[in-house]
Structure 1
Amino acid sequence: MQGRATGTGGMLRRVIPSTAPVLFVSNGTAEDLIGARLAGLLTRRVRYSPLVGEGRAYAALSDATRVGRVLRLPSGGFPFGSLDNLRADLRAGLVGESLGQWTDATRGASETGTVVVVGDAYALMVGTVAARMRRLPLVHVQPLLSAHYLDGLGLRGALRELNALGANRPMPYELRLARGADAVFVRDAATERYYRQRGVAARFAGSFAMDVLSVPERDLRLPAGRPVLALLPGSRDDHRESLPLMLRAAALLPEVTPVVAWPHIWDAVTLPGGWTLEHHGDAEAMARGEGTSVTLVRRAFGAVARAADIAIGTSGTANEQLAGLGVPVISFATRGPQYTAGFARRQGRLLGASLSVVGASAPELAAQVRALLGDPSRQARAALAGLTRIGPAGALPVIAAEIERLALSPLAPHSKGTRR
């Protein structure tokens, strides 16, 4: 059923059918997961336009339809993480295919009642065009920017991270777009204050990262009596470099129980030289080498996260989730595509004392694990920093209720492109 236009004070607005689906526009693995969890709380059908990858998280929903083309980027969605990332993505058709996605999203909005953007300024631009051309309500969920990224950055730091300028702070055009949205939700209280000081009526309703953290999927059957060391190589290709180093560090720590939260297929496991991998079914494997055995588990991140006493991670969201549980996290930079030196610095500013960034060597990692485990006061500071900076869960039900309200509310007329 098509919506029709009615006039109010000489302005046209669209009357939306009460059964119209919601269009989600998101651009990244974590963003897709947040969007899919949010969509699962709605009472209406869902369309989704993933701007990076296939949006597999949405595919698990029973009544979700993908619209538009699929853009597979070698960088995994981090074209500005490094010059190599950008070159590879440009060769993969970044510009042409991205422009096509704008058209796809606008067409996808034609039968929907609300547009929900989960992502950064680029996703917000795409979603804003789709919403405005179809005169639809617009909700922006911004899970990436944090005012904490500016903590101690300074001019020198900003110049060193010019490629991440828009990731460290919202650009003026993003703030302007956000002012035109019907609702804006941000990731922490500090960012809510930052946005409000700049004229955006943003809300912090809880941590998106903690909202999508799964409950323990199963009993890991880990031996008692030793601290559990969670190894988090992440969902990006950084794992090819970081997992072998994590395993070598674990071999230097006989006093802990290491377990890898593995998000890929077993064939993707990269081992240090001389190590072997034994499959124990589809969900568990054992890596052996240097006198050590390390368990790898699939589809059990929630169980690993809640069992951990300390973690080594080269991941974005997973590191934040462990910190949000009060678990100290140790990290090191890789050659990318995601967890580069710049990314590690930025995450260090975000997580404060809950994250320790060290050199990429097994002895340094092992030494840092021992130092943390042997210092209860430092563990307490790390736990407090993670709990306060990430914050509690609870945002997604609030956002879902706001989407339902907007989907049933008459759309106010536009004024110079800004919704009042």
Structure 2
Amino acid sequence: MRLLCLSNGHGEDIIAVRILHALRAYPQIQEVAVLPLVGEGHAYQSAAATLAGPTQAMPSGGFVYMDGRQLLKDVRGGLVQLTLRQMGAIKTWAKAGQSQGRHQSLVLAVGDIVPLALAWRSGLPYAFVGTAKSEYYLRDEVGLLPRQSRWEEWEAWSGSVYLPWERWLMRRSRCRAVFPRDRLTTEILSQKRIPAWNLGNPMMDGLEPRSQPNLDQHPWGNCLRVLLLPGSRPPEAYGNWQQLLQGCDSVLSSFSGRKMAFLGAISPGLELEPLVQMLTRYGWRSMEDQSQSLVPGSLNFRRGNCGLQLSQTAYADYLHLGDLALAMAGTATEQFAGLGKPVLSVAGDGPQFTAAFAEAQTRLLGASVTLVQAPGEMGAAVQQLLTDPDRLQLIVHNGHQRLGSPGAAHLIAAKLVDLWHPGRST
């Protein structure tokens, strides 16, 4: 079987790579090609796949839906021309496999309507991994969520977070399978005669920690550990970092004298120097003692009886070590919530983590996220949270329900193989 994978964003690329790695276990997969529609697709470097067409980094960094001005920048940066060339490349790939028969080729679309529409346009059978939309944006298991305006209430006008034209693409005979991100979305799509399968969210795969410190004997083992997630996109993440440091000040004031550790999970794409400079301005001093590190190689800082550690390589370790998070991120926030842990969030200046994005994220993640109006409110919010055991237990259940368990990539891969070669995926 030949497979072409289309994805439109860095997070979507990562999810696609996890599925491709799982597919490598099946000898039925003889040829794999990829086409990242947004950015240069660096995540695919480990996938051992052929690049099927042109790629190009856009000024928006892929956040064109957040702001019309970002879309205009991308258009000026050559978005239209790039899309036309990519459409041509998809057609070329589809025609190259005609000698093997159309049933021997598959297009896997990962993301939103853009890769889904291009998969349909290829003329080949296709499957869709929907990462961008969830019914939780509109409803929970009880019913529709209350909204602040009549316009917002109209978002549910078609009976699903997926609009009629998106559902039309999923209902075509060539669309063999749809893999939504959660059970609720799967149930709604299934009611609308769409071949949807609830196999979990690949976002929760690959999060196993690399190191496991003995917390009973570690200096920071028996204290509150607060994860800091400023996001990954410069220069926005630097502004987010400053707001999170203000949030740290608020938490420290609310828990005066209590020993605690803050863990800064920093994207490899960010420069550490600006972050360290801000730490210095907020009263944190550097420490050389590596025995204080919860994870080897972390940068260590001290302020009073509290510690702060930075790492660009210990993301999964920090996710598991953190008891709660102060977050201004997208995917990272969802993954932390998926582990059953509470998140406190505050809106930034964008272009990604705006007030609208933060509000939508609270609908997506429900009880797992507390959205405050200013960083200075985080301390009181943490205090209230930690004195409410019933709410903490609800957050554990809610995170697992909305994000699912690890292993989705392997289940999706097995289902794809079984659809083309029944009985051979085991």
TM-score, with length taken from structure 1? 0.82
**SS of residue paired to 1:148:** helix
1:172 to 137, 149, 164: 164
What is the aligned partner in structure 1 of residue 245 from structure 2?
247
**SS of residue paired to 2:347:** coil
In structure 1, how many angstroms separate the alpha carbons of the residues matched to 2:150 and 2:55?
33
1:403 to 392, 400, 416: 416
> Does the Cα contact within 8 Å between 1:175 and 1:200 map onto a contact in 2?
yes
How far does the alpha carbon of each residue in 1:331-372 deviate from its partner, in whole angstroms, 9 at most, with x for none? 1111212211111111111111111111232x2122222222
How far does the alpha carbon of each residue in 1:230-276 deviate from its partner, in whole angstroms, 9 at most, with x for none? 11112223312111221232244254211011112462554337257
1:202-351, aligned counterparts within 5 Å?
202-211=196-205, 213-219=206-212, 223-237=220-234, 238-252=236-250, 253=252, 255-265=259-269, 267=271, 270-271=274-275, 272=278, 274=281, 283-286=297-300, 293-351=307-365
1:119 to 103, 111, 131: 111
**SS of residue paired to 2:23:** coil
Judge which range, 64-73 or 273-282, deviates more. 273-282
Q: 1:82 to 1:292 in 2, by over 3 A?
A: farther
Shift in Å, 1:90 = 2.6
> Does the Cα contact within 8 Å between 1:251 and 1:291 map onto a contact in 2?
no
Q: 1:376 to 1:256 in 2, by over 3 A?
A: farther
In structure 1, how many angstroms separate the alpha carbons of the residues matched to 2:301 and 2:154?
40
Matched, 1:391 2:404: yes
> Does the Cα contact within 8 Å between 1:161 and 1:342 map onto a contact in 2?
no
Ranges in structure 1 where 5+ consecutive residues have no aligned partner: 1-19, 410-420
2:14 to 14, 33, 53: 33
In structure 2, how many angstroms separate the alpha carbons of the residues matched to 1:288 and 1:164?
49
What letter is aligned with 1:210? M
> Does the Cα contact within 8 Å between 2:261 and 2:306 map onto a contact in 1?
no
In structure 1, how many angstroms separate the alpha carbons of the residues matched to 2:285 and 2:84?
43
2:179 to 181, 185, 189: 185
> Does the Cα contact within 8 Å between 1:74 and 1:89 map onto a contact in 2?
yes
**SS of residue paired to 1:182:** strand
Matched, 1:89 2:74: yes
1:80 to 62, 65, 71: 65
Same amino acid, percent of matched pairs:
33
In structure 2, how many angstroms separate the alpha carbons of the residues matched to 1:205 and 1:68?
30
> Does the Cα contact within 8 Å between 2:130 and 2:180 map onto a contact in 1?
yes
Ranges in structure 2 where 5+ consecutive residues have no aligned partner: 98-104, 253-257, 291-295
**SS of residue paired to 2:35:** strand
> Does the Cα contact within 8 Å between 1:81 and 1:164 map onto a contact in 2?
no
> Does the Cα contact within 8 Å between 2:209 and 2:320 map onto a contact in 1?
yes
Aligned length: 382
TM-score, with length taken from structure 2? 0.81
